[in-house]
Chains A and B, each alone.
Chain A
Amino acid sequence: MDNLSLWLLFFAAGLGTFLIRLSFIQLHASSAALIERSKPILALLPPGILAALCMPGIVFTRPTNEYQIDPLQILAALVTILIAKYSSSVFWPVVGGMLCLWLLRAYG
């Protein structure tokens, strides 16, 4: 692809992405009733989204174009879950998980 079509591609994709982000926010006035009715659904979304975002990256090694399960990553994730249960920040669970992964890779 030449540079001009690449720039066109970036603008098209960027504009589309912005419109997706804007969709409900812009419609707010007319969609207030809809949002009110979907409150029970919205409350369930955070765990659903976060689980779907993180699980494939934890269970499978990159590149994720084939099922390649990585037990060390899963163990590291368990350490992260344990620390996250007792700490309200995100920092320490991530540090603990990464240290666990590095130790397991070095001595496992």
Chain B
Amino acid sequence: MASHRQAFWFGVRDLLPLVSGVLPFGLIAGATGVSMGMTPEMIMGMTVLFFAGSAQLAAYSLIQDNAPFIIIVFTVLVINLRFVIYSASFAPLLGPLKKRYRLPLTFMLSDQVYGLCSMPEQQAKSKGERVFYLAGVAISMALSWFISVALGVALGASIPASWSLEFTIPLAFLAMLVTTITNRRLFLVACISALCAIAFQLLPYNIGFIAAVVAGVSCGLLLPNLLQKRVGKHG
């Protein structure tokens, strides 16, 4: 049990540096809601129910554009489709848990949880330790997200935009990316996915994200085998 408790606190510790990226995003999410004339209760209600920052920002802009109800829900779900991948990745870990642990942990799955919990050093640990580590990351992530949005609501638009604090989000994912690349095949996947994400940037509803991941992973699966076959033929 001691090692489980330790794994939980390791999760909390590893999440802390990411708060520097979560905080500005949350401040933006809170302040944007205020600027749209929403009450603090509504903004916090939306934040808790969504628990997905980029979908929340997308919903704001669609609400402002007076988009139809169905379109907004559809857009939010498409942006959140990446959680299917996270769900599949964590199914062996969270699936066997009791409902009262499985459902809350599932609700708290996020990009940050996926990033930290899929690092190679975590995957080498025991199942119990990984669950507690995930819980530590997920709970501290949820708390820091809610507090950041609440701060954004309180501060409104008084944070200088010139600090570009939101740039810490892609930088944090980039740093995680570097540590996950441990061989050439993974490097290939990252390069293809990165190029596609840039090229597909203008596609609507965040389709570009899914398309880039699919392209990167398919190339990673197929290209090395194709190249090997060709070398085999020549040799």
Report A's interface with B, CB cutoff 8 A: 1, 3, 5-14, 16-18, 20-29, 31-32, 35, 38, 40-42, 44-60, 62, 64-65, 67, 73, 76-77, 80-81, 83-85, 88-91, 93-95, 97-98, 101, 105
Contacts and interface: CB of A to CB of B under 8 A. Distances in A.
A52 B171 contact: no
Given A10-B45, A28-B91, A50-B180, A16 B171 contact: no
B30 interface: no
Contact of A81 (B166, B178, B186): B178
* Interface SS of A by simple majority: helix
* Interface SS of B by simple majority: helix
A17 B20 contact: no
B201 A47 contact: no
A17 B77 CA distance: 6
Given A16-B77, A17-B77, A20-B83, A44 B185 contact: yes
Interface of B: 14, 16-18, 20-21, 38, 42, 45-46, 48-52, 55, 59, 63, 66, 69, 72-73, 76-77, 80-92, 94-96, 102-103, 106-107, 109, 111, 114-115, 118-119, 121, 162, 164, 166-181, 185-187, 189-194, 196-198, 201-202, 208-209, 212-213, 216-217, 220-221
B88 A20 contact: no
Contacts of B118: 45-46
Given A10-B45, A81-B178, A57 B90 contact: no
Contacts of B172: 90, 94
Contact of A55 (B107, B198, B217): B198
Given A46-B118, A93-B175, A98-B167, A20 B77 contact: yes
